Structure 1
């Protein structure tokens, strides 16, 4: 076997409520425009024929409670509070029952976004990578096992910025359910343990500045927090 020229970082391990072992982060899939009110505030329409996705690098993920520097290259850095689901079993071309059975757990997540870069690239019909896949730009709170939480119904999802509520919705507003997302996405990928899916953000996204503090939550799940420090 060919030896590696240099070591790669170990995968991020997300704590799991009530467990000694954690969940290693593999691939991160994100569902776009999965709340109608958020799509409207972004000036776009929802594609109700099928969900669509973008990806974020696992190397850029961090845990809740982190202090991250304001990222380079942006003047409009946004928070997006989301429900994350963690895959716990291999699944391909899933039925709804198989999709439910493949869910290991759920957690709160932040999809931090360089909004000015995302919009600029979107207008040019180019990929969103510069806007979405940034260092320390995906934040995960501890997971709760699916058997200890759920099903996904009318749980509240919210985010505060320096104590002021900015996002406040319920999971009933999801356009595509967690089962529908897994069924659809597994038609294109062999989903496996370590895969995480961020299911979209409700309305109320907005800018965050250095020195500000975000806190978010979903009913029954471990809360999430992120402090934004000065640019590095």
Structure 2
């Protein structure tokens, strides 16, 4: 079962980036743009981990940390442009598990999430960030994809789909799981999306799309990225 992460962030671009990146990793992601929205979501469905910005339209995220610690032990990772040491210390003393200063990489955020969850008894495997096989090179950290040394241009959706398969290289990922992780839970019946985007991906990363070497189909089940 996927772990649920609540991202509380009012910056639209940062929020979308975190939602997309965490979804590709297999997390179920909820987002909030304010303290009031975060509080409502916390009452409705308590998450397994919270990624929390401080400067929100209706208050300071630090208030939410203090409120949470009165009742819950949910891991909280603060992400903020504020870099003063005294403020970091105050947030950690108030109950935050970690403090990440903007700008940050997705890889670092994921590493800190794994540490925070591990301290609560939940172990996650380190993220797979690269894939190399038969001329195909994928680096999820830098978002570089190349074939035989030639850089390929993928759309954001194509990249997210390939990234999800990279995370599970060698294993079949079902149609429903791919649709949920890349497009969202409400799209799990839209299998035509997968057929369309898999066709586009194969046209870009396969030497012969009609005889795929990398993106393999398990008929009636899902897709697999070859690892040997």
Q: Give TM class, smaller chain.
A: under 0.3
Length-normalised TM-score, structure 2 = 0.22
**In proportion to residue count, which structure has more helix?**
2
Task: Answer 1 or 2: which has greater strand percent.
Answer: 1
**Greater relative contact order: 1 or 2 (C-alpha under 8 angstroms, separation 6 or more)?**
1
Higher Rg:
2
